[in-house]
Amino acid sequence: MRIGHGYDVHRLVPERRLVLCGEVMSYEQGLLGHSDADVAVHALMDAILGALALGDIGHLFPDSDPKYKGADSMKLLAKVIGIMCGNGYALGNADITIIAEKPKLAPYIEKMRVNLANAFNCDISRISVKATTEEGLGLGIAGIGANAVVLLDEIEK
Ligand code: MG
């Protein structure tokens, strides 16, 4: 088995959709980024690539490439899952922590887990999505961060 970790932060700005784990939230601000800025999926992709020692998403999907402008991060995740499978690994489990003072994410957690389980075509019990605040001591309301840890199992040949 292999373990990987990913971390990402994006700034909250007006007039952007807020998308986390493929779920569009009802909030007056969204995350700034070249793609849809789904910070949780970015951390998850980096965790998978980290487990495989294949670099990071900035290397795979450069933000200098207009092809990725406004990209749906769930589609990028599908590509990373393809790379994972191509390298002979399957998801053991993923544990994602989203760091946000606002909005309250509890109503969306189960939908986010379903979206990711569908992307991996795995049982939802392999996907954990948690949310926390930093008690106003860290990012504050300026942005949203995410940590992801994955365990990948080698597919038996
Ligand atoms: Mg990012």
In order along its 157 residues, the chain shows pLDDT tens digits of 999 999 999 999 999 999 999 999 999 999 999 999 999 999 999 999 999 999 999 999 998 889 999 899 999 999 999 999 999 999 999 999 999 999 999 999 999 999 999 999 999 999 999 999 999 888 888 999 999 999 999 998 7
Token pair of 45 as six digits:
């992709």
**DSSP 8-state secondary structure symbol assigned to residue 155:** P
CA 30 / ligand 1 centre spacing (Å): 13
Instruction: Give the E-state strand segments of the chain in sequence order.
Output: 2-14, 18-20, 23-25, 29-31, 89-99, 127-132, 143-154
CA 42 / ligand 1 centre spacing (Å): 5
CA 62 / ligand 1 centre spacing (Å): 11
Q: What per-residue confidence (pLDDT) applies to 156?
A: 82
Q: Tell me the C-alpha to C-alpha distance, in Å, between residue 38 and each of 31, 125, 154.
A: 7, 22, 28
φ, ψ for residue 101, nearest 5 deg: -75, -40
CA 157 / ligand 1 centre spacing (Å): 34
CA 156 / ligand 1 centre spacing (Å): 32
CA separation for the pair 151, 95 (Å, rounded)? 9
Radius of gyration of the chain (CA): 15
Q: Look-up: residue for tokens 């999907």?
A: 61
CA separation for the pair 11, 21 (Å, rounded)? 16
**DSSP 8-state secondary structure symbol assigned to residue 112:** H
Q: What per-residue confidence (pLDDT) applies to 139?
A: 87
Q: What per-residue confidence (pLDDT) applies to 30?
A: 97
Q: What per-residue confidence (pLDDT) applies to 12?
A: 97
CA 127 / ligand 1 centre spacing (Å): 20
CA 120 / ligand 1 centre spacing (Å): 20
CA torsion sign, 8 to 121 to 59 to 64? negative
Q: What per-residue confidence (pLDDT) applies to 23?
A: 97
Q: What per-residue confidence (pLDDT) applies to 63?
A: 87
Sheet holding 89-99, edge to edge: 29-31, 2-14, 143-154, 89-99, 127-132
